[in-house]
Structures are given as structure tokens and as C-alpha cells.
Structure 1
Amino acid sequence: MKTMKYILMAFLPLMALSCQDEWDEHYGQANPMASQESLWQALKGRAELSNFVRLVENVGYEYYFDGDRMFTLFVPTNDCLTEADVDSLTEVYNAQKSNRIKNNDNTVIKQVLQNHMAMYNYAAIASGDSVQMMMLNGKYSYLADGGVNGVKYLSSNMLYRNGVLFTVGSRLPYFANVSEYFTMDDELDSIASFFSRYNVYEFDASRSVPGEIVDGKTVYLDSVMNLKNVMFDELGYINREDSAYWIVVPTDRQWRKLYEEYKTYFNYDNRTAKRDSVENVMTHKAIVQGTVFNMNVQPSVNDSVISTNYNKANYRYYKCLRPFDEGGVFSGARSVECSNGKVFISDNWEIDKRTTFFQEVKIEAENAYYQDSIAKCKEPVSTYTVPSGNPLYGQVSGNAYVQVEPRNTAVTPLIRFTIPNLLSNIGYDIYAVFAPAIASDTLTTDTLPLKVKFSLKYNDQDGRQVNDIKMENPEGGTYVYETTPNVVDTILVARDYKIPTCSYGLSEPQVRLTVESDRGTASKYTRILRLDCIVFKPHEDDNNVSNE
């Protein structure tokens, strides 16, 4: 149904074509039939609404109905809001208040009172039309076909000094959004607890109720605090009513299982500041990365979905193919409709870590930021680019490489790189990519192969750098590697190499790879290092199949 949003100030005509004349006649500003009573006076004067009045008084909310702000109220009668209901709701309100839950997030305020209060004035309209309203809790509701959100009203369009009153025969249903649903499902305590750690509140003066001015400052009768969560900034605003998000979440059992598996990948050394906290946070973030999908940007949801972490520049990650097919990210999950999307609850996790946080780490050798040190070479080192007309253009990463030349004929040059963001206890295949001299100059006479050696350093569990570990050629059983001349040559330095400590997210480098030219027969080998890039790629085996 096509909806039209109306934001109507007090005593202005409602903009519904089918009933505008009737509204102007019956509720116009000069209409003598318009009561000068407040909504609160009207509520207290109607015996069939006494239970609602008592609930309002029990939570101290009556100032909303007796002030100057304009509301449309949908008040349940005593037949559907009983005295026992009020007693139970009051008990819940007081329990949450004693736990320092703010009024705006107290479930009695948010899911009951504010759920029956629309901002501004609205009126019942002709059959077949629909009006969208924003409720005080931020939810959207609809006036249509003699009811609100499908709940028939018993009386309507009663205009008072500060709003319009409807009565309804049952309480209006509360439709949770994605972020709210976590707290409402007994299977999702773990993820609800994770997100709640990042909740902060910001004061919203526009929605707060001002009182007197004391010492030049406004004292608010009710201070509305908007929820802000830094995890939503990273993953998606799953708390916003005007959004459309799907999210896959693990049950508590699955959450614990994933945590035990993933925490081994975030084993920081003992000198890492706040080590236990960092390990805990990074492990939990690894679980939720790639789980949120903005449905406004999905071209074909049955073919593939991209998560909010997706980046076109690194397109191999955070994209899931055939999500509803067997083994797909949504397959086998219990689906729950929410006001701004869907929650897919999974007890059989189908999000492959190799498409999320198990990522290839690639550094461009010409990037000075990663050049830790150089020795026995001419300084400074040189960066060469590959001209667009060169046959190797596009084969060299970034079409640039670093060149390290020996200081003299008696030495072999070396260059050491820092490697960031490596996980602990996963196998990496380590590659070094070399460019030939002809990549920058097709007329060069330096067309000899290169003999080269590698060594690795990293922090041990106590935070000390281990001595250089010589890399053994997995394809030759020696510590020397040899390039193929006149091609862009990728050398496998190590296969399935595990580093015991994690450096993911740390500002201080911990892993260093040294590349050193090896002495060879001068007439047969060059000693100039021409490095394109270094790659640490998570090892693939038959038991680890990617979604890509």
C-alpha cells in the first residue's frame, strides 16, 4: 500500500483530500466544538480509561499529556488494559529503573506508553487511504481502514488543546527492530550482551520536555537520550527504523563454539596493553564481521549478497554466493521479521571465516611505510614504475617496484619489511613477487636470474623478538631461492607457516620479513633485488573451501 506521511501541527487542517473539508469544519482553529481541555484532563475524566491513567501516574509520565506539545493518543480501554496488567507493568518499570535503565529505554515507557503516542496531530481518514505516523518511540504506524496497525479504534478524532484522542479495543502491538530483537530472544543472550557493551547515550533536546529555567539553564522534566553504538557505526545502523537490514546471528551455543575456535587466532603476546580485553574484543568482532546486509544495495539477493563490510577494492571478501541454497549464509536459519529488516538465527554457522576475517595480507614493496630497514646497499633505495607501453604493464602489482642495489661488488644487499595484521596460529603461504629489469626498461642488459634468501622475525609469547628464522625453500629443501629471469616471478617462500602471536590491529610492528640477495657467480646471477610485493595468504587445503 502506498503511504503518505503527514506532519501536522496543532489545529491545522489534515492534508487528506477525502476528508479535508470535514476536518476544517469540525476541528478548525475557530471551531467552538474543539475542547480547551488538555489530553490529561480528558483522560482523567473518562472512567473507562482509568487503568491507563494509573499506569501513567505510576511511571510519572503525566506531564507529557498536560503540556503544550502535540500528540495523537491511542488509549486502550480498561477491557484490554486491566488492573493486573497495570500492576505487572509498574513492577517491570520499577525493576528496570532500579537497574539504572533510562526512561527512553525502559520497556514499559518505550513499548507501551510511547507505542501509543504519535507525534503531532492526526485524524481518521476515509476508507482506502492510509496515513503514516511516527510514534514517540520512533516506530512508524499507520492509520487505515478504521484502525491503527490493524487494531480497530472504538472512538476517534477527539480534539483537545494539545492533541487528538482515540480509544482502542486492544493494546497496539510492538514491532521490534533488528537491534531490539536480540534482547527479546532467549537464544541470543550472547550477542545481545556483546552489542550492549558499546551503548552510549546522547542528549536530544528536541525530543526532551523542558521545564523551568534555573540559573539561566533549562531544567528538563524528561531528558530524552538517544542510543548510540559504535558497533552500529562499523556494521550498519540496525537500530534505525528507516533502515532495511538483514543480519545472521549465532545462537548462544553457536556463539560459544565460535568464540573458542576464533580466540586462538587472536593470541596477543603478554606485553600487549590490555591483552585480555583486546583478545576478547577482537574475537567477538571476528564473529560479527560479515553478518550484516543492507538490503537497499543488494542487486539480486538470490544470487549473492554483500555485507556492510564489503569493499570493492578488496572484493574477494564479505560476499556470499547463493545465500539461500544449501550451505548458504541464510540456509537453515530461523527467520524473524522485524520493523527494519530480518534476523536470521543460526545454530549451524555458514559464514566462512575465509570470506571474512581470514584475509590475505599484501604489502607493496615500494611503499616506504613498510620498509623497516636496509643494509649493504646504495641509499636511498629506488622505486621504478612500469610504463604503459611495456609488455609487463599490468603484471606488476601497482605497476611499481622497489630496487635495492649492492653498495659494492663485495656485499649482498638486504631489505627488511614489516608485515601488519597477521593472525596467530593459522597457516600462511608466504610469497615474494619479483620484477625483472625489463619491466621498467626493455633495453636493459641486466637479464640474469637472482639468488635470494629469506628470514622471519616475530614476537614470542613473552613479547620478545625471536632471532631471524631462516626460511627453508619448500620446493628445494635449501635456504636459497632462485628467480626466473625476464618475467614477473612469484616465489613461494613458505607453505602453511604458523606464527604463534597475533599482530592484528596493533600499531607497533611485530612481524618482519628480510629479503637478502645471495652471493652467486657474478656472470650467472644478478645481486640487485627488484621486489614487487610480499603476500601472506591463509593456507588453503581440502578441508577449507571458500564461498568465493
Structure 2
Amino acid sequence: MKSLTLNIRYGLLLLLIPFTLACTNNWDNHYSADPDVIPAQSLWESIGERPELLSDFAELLQLTAYDKVLDADQVYTIWAPANGHFNIDSLRALIDEGKKDQVIAEFVKNHIARFSHPVSSLTDKQVLLLSKKSERLRSGEAAASFLFGQTGILSKNILSSNGILHIIDRANPFFFNIYEYLKTDTELDSLTSFIYSFDKAVFDPLLSVPYGVVDGKTIYVDSVISIENELLEKIGLLNHEDSTYWLLAPSNSAWNQAYDSIRQYFKYDLKVAKADSLEQANTKMMMVRDLVFNAKLQSSPQDSLFSTQYQVLDKKYHVYHRPYEAGNIFSRTTEEVSCSNGVIFKSDDWFYRPEQNFYQEIKVEAERTTGRDYSSSLCDIMDRVVKPEDNYKISNKRYIHLMPAGTSRNPWVTFEIPNTLSAAYDIYCVFVPYKYYNPAHENVDKPVKLKFSLTYNDEKGNSRTIVCRDSAGSNIYETDPSKLDTVLVLSNYTFPVANYGQENNTVMLKLETSITSKETALYTREMLIDCICLKPHLN
């Protein structure tokens, strides 16, 4: 495995030139303003007055129009590298190539912070730069020495009307965060394109620098644009510097391999609007949502890794046991890229299994009124709650009690089942024994005899209904009144199309008692129903 520590993009490599600059108290006094007097000159003017030290930096500010920014009223602190301490030629070349925005983002803004940040022997703090990077500002080990990140401060606290200027002995290196690095690696184009497709540029007038008003509209010399990304807000803020993440990044070939295997779970019928787009969007969303791991929350990464989607209340999903063993997700990474907010692990393989991520159990609680229908069934439904002293393993501690309105009718109830995939499921219905409700009732030993029917859409979008049959081929089912009975309704049933994420649920399961008047002594028409469960059928 190769290990790569990335300091700065090719083209912004800083040329460190051996250089010693005498720094005496007289020199400091010559360039420092009287702290009791607010200087009239701006930061830009202060930089321009020191051509023997800062002419290269001043030229770069002019080429990027940041001379105007530093000549305005907003307060900044600048750490300006002295002449000969950075490669001005490579930066000029990038600007000539039309990459001025890159130079601004990765060099200019990496030496500027908002507000005043003077240094003293007591200084030790983190400073947020305009580049969104954070650097430590502190006093050094030697007497009267100060450090900005890993750079030494040659001259400090040069006051101006709109801030403070420090002169440093080298350029401050720019480290990519994970989000920034992705767009530099062509081997990760597929992943990068999907993540960046959620970018939304938002103008921030409060942080922008106004230059004047033209025709009643404010003109900004420095417009601050923030990038918001809805996807990263869900899977992990890879564009922020205040967290540490691990990203398992599939190469383009691994991405294509995963896409082809996962898309089959998101086939929609022909009547669904933009079915192809839904298939593509949902497939890619499922591919990325378990790629990010919060490094600070991994207590024993060799034993198990928890993605950012992991929920303590549902421990079956988004957890990857023994991730470094052969055949598991981190077993064949090809390269590690260290970034300012974590590590990227590149891989040419895709070892995620659907049942660890998106191919999940679907549970419909019977007491949930939404999607439940019994309107013409001539029955009553009561919501029952398990008593605190009863240790019954009933889902959500609640169930429904369906009671026929007459003695000769077979009542029924239908449940909508949301978010089914175009995949195979084992379908169960869980019945509560009558003794849990009333152990002294005459129905306590009577089973329920019933039948099930399943409604779904076919590939053309037409609704279909089938009569369910057990493994012996019978369409009649009986419950066991002695226990909480999980009845297998259908095994390995494959839905031809997905209903995932749709407002209208097209999958429904109907329960209807099937008891004749002569059978009422043997069976009960009252149904106590806990829930409907669809479990992925795994080969």
C-alpha cells in the first residue's frame, strides 16, 4: 500500500530557499507603528511601503485584485511571506494559465484572516484563515520568537488602519481537506462528480467587502461565496476542518462495478415519473452513504467500523465487523491520502453487501393508522398498549385488536407497505395471543384462521393482486394461540419493481379471517396484530 501525504497541489509547490534575515530590535522598531497611534495607512499601503521585503507578495495581491480588498475598511490580519521565501514564478504561471481562483483560494487566502490577531508572549490560539484552514498562532521556544503554523514570524504586529501585518519566513503550506482533494484525483472522478453535484453557491453579504454603490446597487470588491452541500450534511462534512473523517473512496472502476450491482434494487415501473432518474439517483445515494466514517468515534477499528449513518437504536446496519479481513470493505485499499481533516483510502474493489446498508427489514406497525384500511370491513379496531409489568416482546409495546361488528362476518384489514425494493423478501405477520390481552376470555385457546392477499405493481405500472399460499400450497393460515406467533406469509417473494421513496404506496397486504359459522367454536374472528415484517431474503 502506498502512503501519500499531500501538502499542496502540483503547481503550487512552494520553493523553500535557504535564507537568513537579520531581525533586530531596531529593524522591528523601524517597521512597527506606534501602538498608541492608529496609523492612517491601510494594510495594502503598509505592504507597498516595504518593497525590499514584500514586493513579490504585493505583486501577487495586485494580480489577484486583493490589493483592493486590503485597501477597504474590513479588518484583516496578514501573514506575508518575505521576498525569496516562496515561488512567485509558479504562481504567476498559474494565473497566466487562467487559474487565478486557484491561486486566491490556496495561496492568498491561506495567508489572511479576518479581524486583528496580534502576537505576544501569551499568545497561543487557533486562527481561522480565509481559506477555511485553521493555523496555530503562538510564541516560539526561543525568546521573543513567534510561530504561525510551522512558519516563523520575522516581524510582528505592524499596525494599519484596517488590521495587522506580520512578515513570515516562508509561505504557509496549503493542505487539502478531503472534499478539496477529490477534485484533483482523476481516478475518483465518478465519486467526485456525484458529491460535487450537490454543491450550491450562497453569497454572504455580511462577510463580503463592499466597494461602492452603482445605480443603487452595492458593488463588492471581495464577494464571499459559501458552498453548501446537502449530501455532505447527511453523510459527513468532508468540507469542514473541525472534524476528522475516513473516506473509503472507490476508484472509477469500483464505482461502475457497484453501480451495476446496486441499480437492480431500484427498478421503477413505467408509470413512475422520471423512473430512470430515480433509479440513478437512489442507486448512487446508497453507494455513498456508508463511505464516510468519523475517525473520532471508532473505538476499535480493527474489530468494527461504524459509518456516519450508524444508529445506536438499530445496530444491524451501517456497521462493518472485521473490516480489514479478506473480503471485507477495507481489505484491499490501494492508497492512503492524508488530508487536513482526515484520510482517504482508495480502493479498486467494492466489498459492501446490500444487507449492511440499504437492503433492510421493513416493519409496519399495526397500530400505525396511516396506510391502514378497514373502512368497509364491518369491524372495530382498538389500539392496545402492553402494561409496564408485562414482559411481552411486542414491537413498540403496542398492537391492535380487530373485532368483528357481527357474528357472521369475516373482518379484514389492509396495510400499506412502504419503501419496498425490486428485490426478494420473506413476508411475515406477527400475531399476539389472546391471553396477553385477557387470559380469562373464552377465545384464549382459539387460533385465528385467515387468508392473505398481496397487491403490488408490475413493470408496466399495473396493479396486481395475488392470493398468498404457504409452503404446502394452501391459502389458509392458522395462528398459534399459545405464543406470540410470527406467521410466514410468503417466502422469497420478489417484487418486480421498487416503491422506494414514493408518496403513493403500491404494495399492500390484506388480512381476512376465513371462518364459517360452523367453525366459530374452534376459531376466533378477533385478530390481535402486532406488525407486518418484510425481511430481505438472502441466498
TM range (shorter): 0.7 to 0.9
Alignment partner of 1:257: what SS? helix
- The one of 109, 117, 124 equivalent to 2:104 is 109
Q: Aligned-pair distance for 1:461?
A: 1.7
Backbone CA RMSD of aligned residues: 2.9
TM-score scaled by structure 2? 0.84
Equivalent of residue 136 in structure 2, options 127, 131, 142: 142
For residue 345 of structure 1, report the CA deviation from its aligned partner.
Answer: 2.1
- In the TM superposition, 1:149-298 aligns within 5 A as 149-152=149-152, 156-168=156-168, 170-213=170-213, 218-298=218-298
Distance 2:405 2:116 in 1: 82
Contact 2:377 2:413 in 1 (8 A): no
Deviates more, 1:324-333 or 1:179-188: 324-333
- 2:42 pairs with 1:38: yes
For residues 76-128 of structure 1, give each alpha carbon's deviation from its aligned partner in whole angstroms, at most 9, with x where no partner exists. 5256323353032342326xxxxxxxxxxx322111110122333445656x9
Q: Which amino acid aligns with 2:89?
A: E
| CA–CA distance in structure 1, aligned partners of residues 148 and 35 of structure 2 | 25
Q: Is 2:89 the partner of 1:83?
A: yes
Partner of 2:97, secondary structure, is helix
| Map of 1:335 onto structure 2 | 336
* Letter of the 2:447 counterpart: P
The 2-side partners of 1:65 and 1:336 are apart by 35
Give 1:193 shift. 0.8
How far off its partner does 1:339 sit? Answer: 1.6
* Alignment match of 1:525 (pick from 494, 501, 523): 523
- C-alpha displacement of 1:67: 2.2
- What is the rounded CA distance, in whole Å, between the counterparts of 1:400 and 1:155 in structure 2? 72
Say how many residue pairs are matched: 500
Q: CA deviation at 1:301?
A: 4.0
Tell me the equivalent position of 2:477. 481
Q: Shift of the alpha carbon at 1:198?
A: 1.1
Residues 385 and 440 of structure 1 are in contact (CA less than 8 Å); yes or no, is this contact kept in structure 2?
A: no
Which residue is equivalent to 1:54? Answer: 59
Tell me the amino acid that sits aligned with residue 435 of structure 1. Answer: V
The equivalent position to 1:93 in structure 2, one of 99, 108, 123, is 99
Answer whether contact 1:178 1:238 (CA < 8 A) is retained: yes
Structure 1 residue 169, shift from structure 2 partner:
5.2
CA contact (8 A) 2:42 2:161 kept: yes
Structure 1, unpaired ranges of 5+: 1-18, 95-105, 542-548
- The residue number in structure 2 matching 1:417 is 415
CA contact (8 A) 1:80 1:169 kept: no
Secondary structure of the structure 2 residue equivalent to 1:206:
coil
CA contact (8 A) 1:177 1:241 kept: yes
1:170 deviates by 4.3
TM-score, with length taken from structure 1: 0.83
Look up the match of 1:3.
none
Matched, 1:436 2:443: no
1:377 is displaced (CA, Å) by 3.4
One-letter amino acid of the counterpart of residue 198, structure 1: F
Q: Which of 507, 512, 536 does residue 538 from structure 1 map onto? A: 536
Q: Which residue type is aligned with residue 384 of structure 1?
A: R
Instruction: State the Cα deviation string for residues 15-49 of structure 1 (Å, max 9, x = none).
Output: xxxx9xx99x9655226xx8654332343441564
TM-fit CA distance, 1:246: 2.4
Quote the Cα distance in structure 2 between the aligned partners of 1:131 and 1:437.
67
2:94/2:103 contact within 8 Å kept? no
**TM-fit CA distance, 1:239:** 1.4
Equivalent residue of 1:443, what SS? coil
The DSSP-based 3-state class of the residue aligned with 2:255 is: helix
Q: 1:216 & 1:82 partners in 2: Cα distance?
A: 39
Match of 1:74 among 66, 77, 80: 80
| Structure 2 unpaired stretches of 5+ | 1-24, 141-145
In the alignment, which residue of structure 2 is the partner of 1:445?
442
Give how far 1:488 is off. 0.8
Amino acid at match of 1:320: Y
Q: 1:332 Cα shift?
A: 3.2
Is the CA contact 1:120–1:163 (under 8 Å) kept in the aligned structure 2? yes
User: Structure 2 vs 1, CA of residues 76 and 330 (structure 1 numbering), >3 Å: closer, same or farther?
Assistant: farther
- Equivalents in 2 of 1:129, 1:422: separation in Å? 58
SS in 2 for 1:52: helix
Distance across 1 between alignment mates of 2:525 and 2:454: 21
